[in-house]
């Protein structure tokens, strides 16, 4: 939870740097999105939901 706008901006900048690192490692946005969509069942199972 953010208390100040400055806290939010610090976190935003940190996440932006991490995202840039992913791109410089050769991953594209499409590849990242594909990873998320193909792993949805695993994510749901992690939270205790089952898919029939």
Residue-wise pLDDT for 16-47, tens only, equals 999 888 888 888 889 888 988 899 888 888 88
CA atoms within a 13 Å half-sphere pointing along the CA-CB vector of 12? 7
H-type alpha helices, 1-52 = 5-24, 29-38, 40-46
Residue 51: strand, helix, or coil: coil
Q: Distance between CA atoms of 31 and 11, rounded to whole angstroms?
A: 24
Confidence of residue 15 (pLDDT cuts 50, 70, 90): very high
Please check the confidence at residue 52 and state whether its pLDDT lies above 80: no
């Amino acid at each position: 939870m953010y208390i100040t706008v400055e806290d939010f901006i610090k976190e935003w900048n940190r996440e932006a740097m991490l995202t840039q690192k992913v791109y410089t490692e050769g991953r594209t946005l499409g590849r990242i999105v594909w990873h998320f969509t193909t792993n949805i069942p695993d994510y749901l199972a992690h939270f205790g939901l089952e898919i029939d």
